[in-house]
Copies of this chain bind each other. A is one copy, B any other.
Amino acid sequence: MSTETARIEAFSDGVFAIAITLLILEIKIPMPGSIPLSLQLLRQWPSYVAFLISFAFIGIMWINHHRLFTHIRRADNTLLVLNLLLLLGVTAVPFPTAVLAAHLGKPEQKTAAMVFSGTYFFIAIFFNMLWRYAASRNGHLLSSEVNLNSALHISRQYAVGPLLYLICFGLAMVSVMASLAMNLALAAFFALPPKYAAGRPRAGDMAGVR
């Protein structure tokens, strides 16, 4: 954490922390009534699935943000704006999550799953914009000690993100479960350190980073 990026990271940490903590508020509290409590709790399974998926996703986005900012050491006005764009995506997550939870297993679950995957498609684009800007012009915002290989691994892992989420989006029209399964697989893919997730960089890739 450099002095220059400290407040960007602190503000972003706050946003991630709040977004991930608010998710629990979407789960309805079962009230005393004619239906047994245990049954009421079980019937809410789509809410738990949506909560767990969104928690994992926001958590993994935080890990990725953290990873980027171990490389990024300088900040300018454009970086502040691109970081806000990414946080816009992060704060929006509770909405598609709640839409999915309300419609999973119901007639219109396909529309809900498309809203859900669509959100992550945009977030994947925003992650790419933030990283590519920081790494542009010979890595002008990166630490001078940055490991070139590590930066390249990130670039390559991120490059495929938007396309893969677009496939998720299309898959939702065919099968909601297949789309959600692919969403989870993608989350695992982006949770992995880039050196395992991306293949070995080739010489020609170097130009893309610095």
DSSP majority for the A interface? helix
Q: Is A170 an interface residue (CB 8 A)?
A: no
Answer whether residue A147 sits at the interface, using C-beta atoms and an 8 A cutoff: no
Closest to A83 in B: B59
Please give 20 more A-B residue pairs, beta carbons under 8 A apart, in addition to A37-B99, A63-B77, A63-B80. Answer: A1-B3, A7-B66, A14-B18, A14-B21, A15-B17, A15-B21, A19-B21, A22-B25, A27-B95, A29-B98, A29-B99, A30-B99, A32-B103, A32-B107, A37-B111, A56-B84, A59-B84, A59-B87, A62-B84, A63-B81
List which A61-99 residues lie within 8 A (CB) of chain B.
62-63, 66, 69, 77, 80-81, 84, 87-88, 91-92, 94-95, 98-99
